Amino acid sequence: MTKVLEFYKCDDCRTVVMVTHSGEGPVMSPKGKPLRLLEEKTEEAGLTEKHVPVIEKTANGIRVKVGSVTHPMEKEHYIQWISVKKDRNLYIHALRPGEAPEAEFPVNDTNVKAMIYCNKHDIWTNKK
């Protein structure tokens, strides 16, 4: 059984699916292959890139930056999106190669769950 707000990936075509409502059975690709559940990671041992979201207060809400060291934003390796979950609200900001790996959200509280998706290293979060 899936939970609310889980992410699955097809390792063949690299499509990522966000599940927003519980269901029965595995999440499947159109070709009938089960998709891989992306586990949220919080520890970066062994990686030179940093992925754990860093949150800071701004005049308009909060800014989420990717990692304590700026993450690459190249076509082959970049942050595809940053999200913030606060209570029952979910905010998602899509990014493209060449853009800064950060986003600002209209949330007045730094006690939020932030997640990022790296096209090479999957899902990272600041808290479980």
* Residue 103 confidence (pLDDT) above 50: yes
CATH assignment, 53-125: 2.60.40.730
Q: What is the pLDDT of residue 3?
A: 61
Q: What amino acid is encoded at 121 in this protein?
A: H
Strands 79-86 and 36-37: unpaired
Bridge partners of 104, per DSSP, are: 63
How are strands ordered across the β-sheet holding 53-58? 53-58, 61-66, 102-105
Tell me which amino acid residue 54 is. V
pLDDT digits (tens, 9 = 90+) for 32-91: 899 999 999 998 777 667 899 999 999 999 999 998 888 999 999 999 999 999 988 999
* Domain extent listing, the chain: 1-38, 53-125
CATH class of 1-38: mainly beta
pTM, entire model = 0.89
pLDDT at residue number 2: 47
